[in-house]
Amino acid sequence: MEPFEGGLSSNVETTAPEGTMIATLFNTRARFSPRAWAIVGSIALLACGGRNALGQSSALSPGFLEHPAVTPPLLFREGWQQPPHTGPLTDENRRITQQALTNADLELRLYGPDARDIQVTEHNGIPDVWNGFTTSPVALTLRYKNAYLDLTGLTRMRWRTRTENLHLLHPVVKLADGKLLVGSQTFQSPQRRMVGSDGFTGNFVVSEVTFDDQRWFELDPEKVVVKLEVNNPDLSRVDEIGYVDLMPGGGHGTAGCSNVSWIEVYATPRKR
């Protein structure tokens, strides 16, 4: 028989008697150098290790790459109601007050020269707050009386909103040190062209605000104008949470405005 490649030869014949197998095995083993046996052993170890690693990875849960943190449970919700009034329900009687809140654990805060003209209205059978009559930028926040809000991690603010004619909404927070901040995230309804008597260009949409992945800027509480950026604000102790529309309203009809139907806050409470 011809030698194998690499200079190794074999004495094993296909018709070799059974009694010669042991001698043949030792004869073949003797022809391998110690270095060759070391290489064979290394390959075997790698093969076993690869199988073990594959077995371990296949045993992992489908979400093993996900972040271990979870969104906190719902802390509070506000859905508004028409404040008490006397006489017909006029534009003046629709003005928002503390009595427009349905949640007794919350306090209303308004910012802006004309914030008192924010109104409680209703669309599709759902109450909302509307800034169409405000002649200045305005901000509205809610203060949870029982605790500060920890807005770090996977905290969320979920809300139903509508904007008209280029208006945008930004999230707003007031920190424990009293500083009012506006976030860089923007929320705008999908816009469509006005056709005939259809004067509404935006639809109500439900969306979520995240807090750990946006830039924050100081918001002047009197004028409601944006000032310098605030790097790394402490969002673990937030006193108020809400939103701002940096454009004045345009009145009834087809002018620019914004509506907020309800707000839900998913956050961890922190002792005041």
SS3 55: helix
The pLDDT of residue 118 is above 80: yes
Query: For a pLDDT cut of 70, what percent of the chain falls above it?
Result: 72
Q: Positive or negative CA dihedral for 38, 44, 46, 52?
A: negative
Contact 162, 202 (CB under 8 A): yes
Reported as a single tens digit per residue, the pLDDT across 134-155 is 999 999 999 999 999 999 999 9
In this predicted structure, what is the pLDDT of residue 87?
85
Confidence of residue 16 (pLDDT cuts 50, 70, 90): very low
CA neighbor of 235 nearest in space, from 170, 154, 164: 154
Q: Positive or negative CA dihedral for 246, 235, 187, 78?
A: negative
Confidence of residue 15 (pLDDT cuts 50, 70, 90): very low
d(CA 76, CA 107): 12
Reported as a single tens digit per residue, the pLDDT across 52-109 is 544 444 455 555 455 678 999 999 999 999 998 888 888 888 999 999 999 999 999 9
In this predicted structure, what is the pLDDT of residue 92?
85
CATH architecture of residue range(s) 74-270: Sandwich (2.60)
Confidence of residue 39 (pLDDT cuts 50, 70, 90): low
Label each residue of 218-251 as H, E or C: EECCCCCCEEEECCCCCCCCEEEEEEEECCCCCC
- Return the domain boundaries, the chain: 74-270
Helix H or strand E segment including 124: none
In this predicted structure, what is the pLDDT of residue 89?
83
Structure tokens at 28: 């073949």
In this predicted structure, what is the pLDDT of residue 36?
56
Q: What DSSP character marks residue 200? A: -
